[in-house]
Structure 1
């Protein structure tokens, strides 16, 4: 597989789309763990009934609680994705947190799992980034209202593009106060700029390997650049783009992509209250969150109490896999011990605050 083909596969797994529901069984409860169980819950966000799993111990005293936000697009409460398959990493993160006496809420975003598309069925293309943000805001309010949640110890852990919504919650002075953030493999720049950088890098690799001529590479880059300009200026996009890029940007998802692209993670990071504990992970093999690419976001988080974890050989779904191949995302390997070791230190502070 060429570098460009791998780019398209990875981008399709995380792009903002509503083309189908998640592949996993979102309603299946996690295994029991010392009284900690998943309770199927619902809450409403602007007319959409959102289904989720509230993982808690009903007999436990009030304590810290965390909202988990999955990757972008058609990724459900468990991290399962219609493209990548039953990934299950967010369910594993909930299991990890309950082992640390932290309750959690994870949920099926619009277009996935039990939530489905709801009132947007008549016009799926109307679903944009703001719908996902509204869902996240409703979720954190629901979590804050639970009797077992300590208001002084609410945190948000998010993966990939989900970190944008996590930072929006932290910067929102009108919602529940977020005491800590886990930004796992975060989006570090405007959405379409990130994809453009990947296109340029991947096409260059194909030229170097002989998979493409320079003329072919130039055609792909020109077509993509033109599509990005059209999306940003007109809100439309060509029906077909070369070599699989229509999986990333197409007439069905252009509204969502343009809304996501309008949000600047760097600007959001600067709005997070000073002193907020933040854990940011990046990886030397994750093409969506290379550590070098995260440097502007890391700098923008300078006012926070920031911990940066540079993972080695860890893929985008938080597991040890130096190939970062989308075909391996659904393997039921554990979350990387490199990450859990960092989480051990980070969540110990949350437990102390909420205990």
Structure 2
């Protein structure tokens, strides 16, 4: 999430004896294009169906991407292609779970759709409605069990999944919140920026007095946005000033509506007993573990089931570690498999 602030092989099930296509009654793993409509926009996605017995109804997971123009694979081409969602689909395939991932507004084949001529009207609730339409599409696929659906969201997608899970029917059996946006958007932005200013001060780029001035200007900018007033960027370094300027104008509606959501409050709508995995990485500078404390408490009060919060040693926001710089780290895979098998 907010990667610009911090500077992110589909494996089919192996049959060791007879090939899947030659085994009577066994359907080999496959991807297919899925199309559904949300608010008048045609949305395109990929349904991955693991190897299964003919006629079998499978558990299935809706995969939701992080913030920004992140497509169905979890990429923001050409700048960033970590394949986060494609790799999650891979991992869940190994537990026999079908997955649907899609190009959200502004990405891939979907594009801006109905918002093409007025992108300034695209707010955060529109993305939630698009995710709901995706959930309903997954529910209605012939291979999926509508009573064994999961929602798996990364970063902002985890917050979307949390909102979604309290309202859809049937309710999901489980929810995976991976490195989630767990506090209000602008609070998280301010935290990230202040951490960068602190590091720059440590390196001698700012004096302590300058650090205090910039931090105060960041707080003032957040207050101005929330009060719908122009942001005074006088005391902000140029890159931070540009960021707050980008949060105004055409993006103002989205920023305001995203910032209005406090994720711990949404946990109250979860069905008691819903199994929830909440992960945080010790090397995640974008969503530090302590930002998930209130959400962890809210999930407990909502009587959510386990596994609960899992701290991932050495794992960053894209769920990589130093040994796995371009693939999901082993602690992530382990947490996912425990969630899938619980």
TM-score interval for Structure 1 and Structure 2 normalised by the shorter chain:
0.7 to 0.9
Q: 1:272 to 1:165 in 2, by over 3 A?
A: same
Cα pair 2:105 2:111 within 8 Å, conserved: yes
Give the alignment partner of residue 114 of structure 1, picking from 109, 118, 140: 109
- 1:4 counterpart residue number: none
Q: Paired residue for 1:251?
A: 249
Contact 2:5-2:192 at 8 Å conserved across structures:
no
When residues 201 and 228 of structure 1 are mapped into structure 2, their CA distance, relative to the original with a 3 A threshold, is: same
- Partners of 1:239 and 1:251 within 8 A in 2: no
1:52 deviates by 0.4
Match of 2:49 among 50, 56, 81: 56
The answer on 1:188 being equivalent to 2:186 is: no
The equivalences for 1:164-203 within 5 A come to: 164-172=159-167, 174-203=168-197
Q: How far did 1:250 drift?
A: 4.1
CA distance in 2, matches of 1:45, 1:182: 23
Mark the runs of 5 or more structure 1 residues left unpaired by the alignment: 1-6, 14-28, 323-327, 350-355
Residues 99 and 235 (structure 1), Cα distance of their counterparts in 2 relative to 1, 3 Å cut: farther
Aligned mates of 1:10, 1:267 — CA distance in 2: 26
From 87, 91, 97, the counterpart of 2:92: 97
Question: 2:125 and 2:229 mapped to 1: Cα distance?
Answer: 15
Deviation (angstroms), 1:221 = 2.5
Structure 2 counterparts to residues 213-224 of structure 1, below 5 A: 213-224=207-218
2:125 is equivalent to residue 124 of structure 1: no
Which aligned runs of 4 or more in structure 1 are off by greater than 6 angstroms? none
SS in 2 for 1:306: strand
Superposed CA offset, 1:94-117 (max 9, x none) = 011112111110011000111101
Structure 2 unaligned residues grouped into runs of 5+: 15-27
TM-score normalised per structure 2? 0.86
TM-score by structure 1 length? 0.83
Decide whether the 8 Å contact of 2:39 with 2:114 is kept in 1.
Answer: no
CA shift, 1:46, in A, is: 0.5
Distance between the aligned counterparts of 1:146 and 1:158, measured in 2? 20
Alpha-carbon separation, structure 2, partners of 1:239 and 1:74: 26
Distance (whole Å) between structure 2 residues aligned to residue 82 and residue 102 of structure 1: 27
Pairing 1:316–2:309 present: no
Q: Which is further off, 234-243 or 35-44?
A: 234-243
Q: Distance in 2 between matches of 1:53 and 1:47?
A: 20
Q: Distance in 1 between matches of 2:202 and 2:78?
A: 29
| Matching residue within 197, 203, 212 for 2:206 | 212
SS in 1 for 2:150: strand
- Whole-angstrom CA distance in 2 between matches of 1:12 and 1:37: 38
Q: Distance in 1 between matches of 2:209 and 2:238?
A: 15
Deviation by residue 1:55-80 (Cα, 9 ceiling, x = unmatched): 11584611200000011121011010
Question: How many residues of Structure 1 are paired with residues of Structure 2 in the alignment?
Answer: 319
Q: Is 2:12–2:93's contact at 8 Å kept on the other side of the alignment? A: no
Residue 67 of structure 2 is aligned to residue 66 of structure 1? no
- In the other structure, the counterpart of 1:347 is 340
CA-based RMSD: 2.4
Structure 1 CA distance for aligned equivalents of residues 95 and 335 of structure 2: 13
Question: Does the 8 A contact of 1:12 with 1:83 survive in 2?
Answer: no
Change (3 A) 1:268 1:84: farther
How far does residue 84 in structure 1 lie from its aligned partner after superposition? 4.5
Equivalent residue number for residue 21 of structure 1:
none
Q: Which moved more, 1:160-169 or 1:204-213?
A: 204-213
Q: Taking structure 1 as reference, are residues 83 and 315 closer, same or farther at Cα in structure 2, changes over 3 Å only?
A: farther
Residue number in structure 1 paired with 2:224: 230
Contact 1:111–1:117 (8 Å) recurs in 2: yes
Structure label with greater radius of gyration: 2
Distance in 2, Cα, partners of 1:143 & 1:298: 28
Partner residue of 2:18? none
Which protein has greater RCO, CA pairs closer than 8 Å, 6+ apart?
A: 1
1:306 to 2:302 alignment = no
